Chains A and B, each alone.
Chain A
Amino acid sequence: MSAQSKDHYYVPDSSAYPFLCSIALFCIAMGAASMLNGYSFAPTLMSAGFLGMAVLLFIWFRSVIIESPDYNMDVDRSFRMGMSWFIFSEVMFFAAFFGALYYIRMLSIPWLADTELLWPGFEATWPSTGPQGAELLAGVAPSANSIAEGTEYALVDPWHLPLYNTLLLLASSVTLTISHHALRAEKRGQTIIWLAITVILGAIFLFLQVEEYIEAYTELGLTLGTGVYGSTFFMLTGFHGFHVCLGAFILLVVLIRYMKGHFNAERHFAFEAGAWYWHFVDTVWVGLFIFVYIL
């Protein structure tokens, strides 16, 4: 084929990474399924999968970085589009959980409260652990596997840790933008400092989130098993926290790459992709803060 220059779309040669990554994914998935069912080999299988995946992705991305000087603007645009659509898919993933929250609060809890025949005395309130919370606590009903801890729980005060977290994330979006502007203006020092601050803010956020979880579990009695309130609370904030981890990690890698001189004022797709992702994670948090904590 004709020599690949910048006026051609870059088509990579055959590569073993996808196949190997699929094997790693298989190990992760199979490991997870077996672990949930108590097979002793499962943790090993799953760790092997994760390790393999991490190593492979590292090598894979590394080779992309090495090739990247051969990419023309079309390839760059493909990457951008790809990243945007990936973020869109993440939005829809969160939408499923927000939808569940909405449905439970607005529909199923009131319906349960209306069902006198089955759940006498149950009132529609939010937060709620559902109609069996009280009986379970009193030990009348046999313990359901779904409700571990009963109903005595307190709420997380939105104006305490969550508020700090909101401010932290909002601030981190600003610092990230400053860093981006600095990058475009080729102000190296500022770019690094502001990007580093962003990552640190993200890390503090995660730290506080862990604090909050510990407090919820140990002091407030609020757990994943505290009825449907605990379920929605922990699943939404948990998946969000996981995405913060990912986002912070991406930004950290971007920071290191920047320090190694990988980007310039015109070409820094990885920086932008990381930034988009970070802003997305941020926006989700604002949704969480409003719908999970405040309302």
Chain B
Amino acid sequence: MSHAATAGDHGHDDHDHKPPFFQRWFMSTNHKDIGTLYLIFSLTMLFVGGAMALVIRAELFQPGLQFVDPHFFNQMTTVHALIMVFGAVMPGFVGFANWMLPLMVGAPDMALPRMNNWSFWILPFAFAILLGSFFVPGGAPASGWTLYAPLTIQGGMSVDMGIVAIHMMGISSIMGAINVIVTVLNMRAPGMTLMKMPMFVWTWLITAFLLIAVMPVFAGAVTMLLTDRHFGTAFFNPAGGGDPVLYQHIFWFFGHPEVYIMILPAFGIISHIIPTFARKPLFGYSSMVFATAAIAFLSFIVWAHHMFTVGMPLQGELFFMYATMLISVPTGVKVFNWVTTMWRGSMTFETPMLYAIGVVFLFTLGGLSGLMLAITPADFQYHDTYFVVAHFHYVLFAGAVMAMMGGTFFWLPKWTGHMYNETLGKIHFWLTAIFFNITFFPQHFLGLAGMPRRYADYPVQFTEFNQWSSVGAFGLGLSQLLFVYIIVATVRGGKKATAEVWENPEGLEWTVPSPAPFHTFDEPPVVK
């Protein structure tokens, strides 16, 4: 049924007419509701994956095995990462895209609304399979989130469940990405040229391109795993002429762009928050766009920096080292642009701004440790130690997840029509930032001193920093309960938000009332 057919029954200007519960939440074609579903899903997964991280941290509190056996520990590591990456961060950003892209480009909805809903609904089922694998004989996949062959060839049924779950997540991501690209390229309001698009739209456009380019490659990699496991192929079996390292190449051809898939939308969000609270336009808009594109381009030719120790030929190692180092240049451009946006602004420090500043600060720290990892000879020492773990939690948690938190506070009034409690928001920021650093900063030292990652147990000299890290992790976890409380409280009530919410923010999303009506931009706005 179309709106055309039902328009008569529903009356004309009833922008807020919402369908009954089941129809609204399970059959939705509304980008805002689907966005909400994505965001709730993402938050849930953050807790599930976080709970697993807490199991890891509990076991690592002291040397020796206190709580779980090593096999279960490996399952925790693996599923923690898969859940966080594919369940928390990626869907989280898709949620933001769903909510904000149509509002930002002045479109009535996403371009392909039913497919949009399908993209979402695949996810709960995919994760049901992934989490269900805990209950089959042998437990969940235990080979690390990278699922390296031949370790995965050894695993039990859970590996197959993991693989089909990944296929489903891939289908979901590809459909979601197609939707984003089509919406952005086809549904912009008249007058909104590409170079007038808000940064978040740009970063998502490029992210979507990355997704479509690499998710199928990942699907191909795990398909080869599956046939090696069950149908006698020898892609990764040297006896038959294959190579285990081939898996790594294919995986990281996906895996490296994947990490930028998780950070570019965060860059987009930051690029909205900082100008708003600096009361000054974003510095260097066009260089921001080009830097994002450059990062995306480079991300395709650096993958083997995850594999410096597999014994590549020297020329290969040099090439991948140089290419990886180059990514620092466009990323640096972004950081400098943000700092310059703040320069001589008139800043206030509401929660979203605190988050944005925190993200820039901590992401840069993580980015610089990434640059250290890129230096091949040094990476021989860092590789597969907690130094790497520290690096990627700085860019992933402090970069991606904290950007999502900042984005949530930034747009929550628009979504719910209520202002959140500013004091609690600030407390949440400080708790998160401090506990985050207690958790992950010591891991740098652990890694340098030689603690390998994916270890259920470790030599005694690593005890102290692990204890800091574990205490920090529990603090970090508990602090997130406050996050949930603030959101729930804001949904249920609070000071009414104005349409603009903040002082003179830029963008179409601030021209519609708060909460944003169920349907917006039936008539496309005109952008000058």
Return A181 CB to nearest CB of chain B, in Å: 27
Tell yes or no: B471 within 8 A of A by CB. Answer: no
B114-A109 in contact (CB<8A): no
State the 6 A-B residue pairs at the shortest beta-carbon distance, nearest first. A130-B241, A96-B220, A225-B232, A228-B241, A18-B118, A231-B233
Q: A77-B186, A85-B181, A93-B220 are in contact. Are A8 and B27 (CB under 8 A)?
A: no
Count of chain A residues near B, Cβ 8 A: 80
Best-surrounded residue of A18, A93, A130, A234 (most CB of chain B within 10 A): A18
Supply 7 further A-B pairs (C-beta < 8 A) apart from A70-B2, A108-B243. Answer: A3-B3, A100-B235, A104-B242, A130-B234, A136-B239, A147-B239, A229-B241
Q: List 27 A-B contacts (CB under 8 A).
A: A1-B3, A1-B7, A1-B10, A2-B12, A4-B2, A11-B29, A12-B2, A13-B5, A13-B29, A14-B27, A18-B27, A18-B117, A22-B124, A25-B168, A25-B171, A30-B129, A33-B157, A82-B179, A89-B213, A95-B216, A95-B220, A97-B220, A103-B243, A109-B241, A147-B232, A147-B234, A227-B240
B241-A144 in contact (CB<8A): no
* CB closest residue in chain A, given B161: A33
A22-B122 in contact (CB<8A): yes
In the bound complex, what is the Cα–Cα distance between A37 and B164 (angstroms)? 13
Give B228-279 interface residues, CB cut-off 8 Å to A: 228-235, 237-243, 245-246, 249-250, 253
Q: What are the residues of chain B within 8 A of A8 when measuring CB–CB?
A: 108, 522
Q: What are the residues of chain A within 8 A of B128 when measuring CB–CB?
A: 26
Which residues does B use to contact A, with CB under 8 Å?
Answer: 1-8, 10, 12-15, 19, 23-24, 26-30, 107-109, 111-115, 117-118, 120-122, 124-126, 128-129, 132, 136, 156-157, 160-161, 163-165, 167-168, 171, 174, 177-179, 181-182, 185-187, 212-217, 219-221, 224, 226-235, 237-243, 245-246, 249-250, 253, 519, 522-523
Give A105-137 interface residues, CB cut-off 8 Å to B: 107-109, 111-112, 128-133, 136
A231-B220 in contact (CB<8A): no
* CB closest residue in chain A, given B313: A107
B117-A15 in contact (CB<8A): yes
B217-A86 in contact (CB<8A): no
Best-surrounded residue of A11, A26, A97, A133 (most CB of chain B within 10 A): A11
Main secondary structure on A side of the interface with B: helix
In the bound complex, what is the Cα–Cα distance between A155 and B314 (angstroms)? 36
Tell yes or no: A10 within 8 A of B by CB. Answer: yes
A96-B221 in contact (CB<8A): yes
Q: What are the residues of chain B within 8 A of A136 when measuring CB–CB?
A: 239
Q: What are the residues of chain B within 8 A of A2 when measuring CB–CB?
A: 7, 12-13, 522-523
Q: What are the residues of chain A within 8 A of B212 when measuring CB–CB?
A: 85, 88-89, 92
Tell yes or no: A148 within 8 A of B by CB. Answer: yes
Q: What are the residues of chain A within 8 A of B30 when measuring CB–CB?
A: 14
Which residues does A use to contact B, with CB under 8 Å?
Answer: 1-5, 8-19, 21-23, 25-26, 29-30, 32-34, 36-37, 60, 67, 70, 74, 77-78, 81-82, 85-86, 88-90, 92-93, 95-97, 99-100, 103-104, 107-109, 111-112, 128-133, 136, 141, 144-148, 223-225, 227-232, 234-235
Could you say which of A11, A146, A234 contacts B240, with CB atoms under 8 Å apart?
A146
Q: What are the residues of chain A within 8 A of B224 when measuring CB–CB?
A: 96-97, 100, 235
Q: What are the residues of chain A within 8 A of B239 when measuring CB–CB?
A: 130-132, 136, 141, 144, 146-147
Return B204 CB to nearest CB of chain A, in Å: 14
A-B contact count, CB below 8 Å?
281
Q: A13-B6, A30-B164 are in contact. Are A231 and B240 (CB under 8 A)?
A: yes
Could you say which of A14, A104, A141 contacts B243, with CB atoms under 8 Å apart?
A104
Q: What are the residues of chain A within 8 A of B253 when measuring CB–CB?
A: 96, 99
In the bound complex, what is the Cα–Cα distance between A25 and B165 (angstroms)? 10
A130-B178 in contact (CB<8A): no
A146-B237 in contact (CB<8A): yes
In the bound complex, what is the Cα–Cα distance between A132 and B237 (angstroms)? 10
Q: What are the residues of chain B within 8 A of A100 when measuring CB–CB?
A: 220, 224, 235, 246, 250
In the bound complex, what is the Cα–Cα distance between A287 and B410 (angstroms)? 50
* CB closest residue in chain B, given A128: B241
A22-B178 in contact (CB<8A): no
Return A38 CB to nearest CB of chain B, in Å: 9
Q: What are the residues of chain B within 8 A of A129 when measuring CB–CB?
A: 234, 240-241
Best-surrounded residue of A30, A60, A89, A227 (most CB of chain B within 10 A): A89
Q: What are the residues of chain B within 8 A of A9 when measuring CB–CB?
A: 107-109, 187
Q: What are the residues of chain A within 8 A of B15 when measuring CB–CB?
A: 1
Q: What are the residues of chain B within 8 A of A5 when measuring CB–CB?
A: 4
Return B348 CB to nearest CB of chain A, in Å: 38
In the bound complex, what is the Cα–Cα distance between A21 and B113 (angstroms)? 15
B2-A228 in contact (CB<8A): no
Return B166 CB to nearest CB of chain A, in Å: 10
Q: What are the residues of chain B within 8 A of A111 when measuring CB–CB?
A: 243
In the bound complex, what is the Cα–Cα distance between A16 and B29 (angstroms)? 10
Best-surrounded residue of B1, B109, B228, B519 (most CB of chain A within 10 A): B1
A11-B232 in contact (CB<8A): no
Q: A33-B157, A74-B187, A227-B241 are in contact. Are A21 and B118 (CB under 8 A)?
A: yes
Return B269 CB to nearest CB of chain A, in Å: 24
Q: A23-B125, A147-B232 are in contact. Are A112 and B111 (CB under 8 A)?
A: no
B232-A146 in contact (CB<8A): yes
In the bound complex, what is the Cα–Cα distance between A234 and B235 (angstroms)? 12
In the bound complex, what is the Cα–Cα distance between A30 and B125 (angstroms)? 10
Q: What are the residues of chain A within 8 A of B6 when measuring CB–CB?
A: 13
B114-A17 in contact (CB<8A): yes
* CB closest residue in chain B, given A28: B164
In the bound complex, what is the Cα–Cα distance between A74 and B14 (angstroms)? 25
A96-B4 in contact (CB<8A): no
In the bound complex, what is the Cα–Cα distance between A141 and B237 (angstroms)? 15
A67-B121 in contact (CB<8A): no
Q: A82-B178, A93-B219, A109-B241 are in contact. Are A70 and B246 (CB under 8 A)?
A: no
* CB closest residue in chain A, given B244: A108
Could you say which of B108, B167, B174 contacts A29, with CB atoms under 8 Å apart?
B167
* CB closest residue in chain A, given B213: A92
Return A70 CB to nearest CB of chain B, in Å: 6
